[in-house]
């Protein structure tokens, strides 16, 4: 089924001043659609984590958000280095973020598990050298 409408966002690399703009914009859209506040909250947390990952690890990327009658799908993709060991990366507290990122309060290794906790469906596709694609699905009803 085709989506009713879609939004695309650029996620710039290493720019923390705009990181979070895409998820913040999606949060506003969901509020306007009248989506239940707790679902809006989970969506914006999951999307923000994926967005910030693209900023920190993926040299930036893109977000594609598609709105369907009953769900929203979010795809965050980057052409960064990719993930060696997905299972390891999913573990709470595991992080490959460099110190300069950690000093800014990011890179605590909670991002992916936080997405998993908040998303209704979450698929992570990645291969070293081929970038990362994070698929998040949220059911609205």
Partner 1 sequence: MTKYFHSVTLEKDKCRGCTNCIKHCPTEAIRVRNGKATIIKERCIDCGECIKVCPYHAKKAVTDSFELVQEYPYKIAIPAPSQYGQFGRDYSRDRILQGLLEIGFDWVLEVSKAAEIVTDATKQMLKSPELKKPVISSACPAVVRLVQVRFPTLIPNLVKIESPMELAARIAKNTAIRDKGIAKEDIGVFFISPCAAKVTSVKAPYEKKESSVNGVLSMKDIHIRLLEKMKNIPADIESPLVCSGYSGVGWARSGGESYALGNEQYLAVHGIHNVIKVLEEIVADRLEGVEFVEALSCTEGCLGGPLTVVNPFVARPNLKWEIKRAKETDFSRENSAKDYQDLLWTEDVEYKPILKLDNDMLKAMKKMQQLEAINEEMPGLDCGACGAPSCRALAEDIVRGLACETDCVFKLREKVSSLADQIKALVQNTKRRNE
User: What is the distance between the alpha carbons of residues 53 and 78, in angstroms, rounded to a whole number?
Assistant: 9
- Site for partner 1, residues 99 to 138, rule: CB under 8 A: 105, 114
User: What is the distance between the alpha carbons of residues 51 and 71, in angstroms, rounded to a whole number?
Assistant: 19
Only one of the segments 35-43, 79-87, 94-102, 122-130 lies at the binding site for partner 1 (rule: CB under 8 A); that segment is 35-43
> Exposed e or buried b for every residue in 53-81, given b needs 16+ CB within 10 A?
bbbbbbbbbbbebbbeeeebbbbbbbebb
Tokens, residue 102:
């950690």
Task: Provide the minimum distance between the beta carbon of 127 and partner 1 in the complex, in angstroms, as a whole number.
Answer: 29
Kindly state whether residue 38 participates in binding partner 1, applying the rule CB under 8 A. Answer: yes
Kindly state whether residue 93 participates in binding partner 1, applying the rule CB under 8 A. Answer: no
Kindly state whether residue 14 participates in binding partner 1, applying the rule CB under 8 A. Answer: no
Nearer to partner 1, 93 or 105 (CB): 105
Kindly state whether residue 5 participates in binding partner 1, applying the rule CB under 8 A. Answer: yes
E-strand ranges in the chain read 5-11, 61-67, 71-78, 121-126, 132-139
Kindly state whether residue 31 participates in binding partner 1, applying the rule CB under 8 A. Answer: yes
- Which parts of this chain interact with partner 1 (CB under 8 A)? 4-5, 7, 20, 23-24, 27-29, 31-35, 37-38, 40-41, 44-45, 48, 67, 69, 105, 114, 140-141
């Amino acid at each position: 089924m085709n989506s009713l409408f879609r939004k695309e966002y650029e996620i710039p690399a290493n720019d923390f001043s705009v990181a979070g703009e895409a998820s913040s914009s999606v949060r506003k859209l969901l509020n306007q659609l009248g989506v239940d506040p707790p679902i809006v909250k989970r969506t914006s947390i999951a999307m923000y984590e994926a967005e910030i990952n693209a900023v920190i690890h993926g040299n930036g990327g893109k977000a594609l958000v598609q709105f369907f009658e009953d769900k929203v799908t979010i795809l965050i993709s980057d052409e960064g280095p990719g993930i060696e060991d997905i299972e390891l990366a999913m573990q709470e507290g595991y992080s490959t973020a460099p110190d300069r990122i950690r000093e800014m309060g990011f890179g605590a290794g909670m991002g992916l598990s936080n997405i998993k906790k908040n998303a209704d469906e979450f698929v992570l596709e990645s291969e070293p050298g081929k970038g990362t694609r994070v698929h998040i699905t949220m059911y609205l009803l």
